[in-house]
Amino acid sequence: MGIKEVLSENLRALMASRPALDTLPKITAKTFGRLSNGKLDRIRRAAVATDIDSVEQLAEAFGLEAWQLLKQPLGNASPEEKPPVAQLESARGKRWPFPSIDPVKVGNLSAADAEDLERAWLRIARNLEIDIEVDKPGKRVNA
């Protein structure tokens, strides 16, 4: 399997496992338009080789590092081989902040369970008046 096919399979697996990024327009929005629907479609179909900047932007959209998209088909990886949340967060230079929660188990949740957990975390954060949501384009940030 060539690198284009690995990237293609990984993109399709990530889209299938993440409802918030399960369509090309959602990924385009997450990259603030840096990756167009057309370019994403060509990557998904392994129709063309893509540049490293695009691979980095795609990885960032999914909270990964670029090399993780190119290494192996993520959808076929065993749970031990899938990048744990602690590794995923390393792209942002952060460590896993919850010592009593296993990041590998969190990273291996089904899409539905991950979505439920995300909603619960956001609800708790709002109740505690803690801003943990991803900044969206046009959202005002208090300075």
Distance of CA 54 to the CA centre of its chain: 14
The C-alpha atoms of residue 91 and residue 2 are separated, in whole angstroms, by 25
* DSSP per residue, 35-70: S-HHHHHHHHTT-S---HHHHHHHHHHTT--HHHHH
The tens digit of pLDDT for each residue in 37-86 reads 999 999 999 998 899 999 999 999 988 888 888 887 665 554 444 454 44
Residues of the chain with CATH 1.10.260: 3-74
User: Which fold would CATH assign to domain 3-74?
Assistant: 434 Repressor (Amino-terminal Domain) (1.10.260)
Given a cut of 80, is residue 106 above it in pLDDT? no
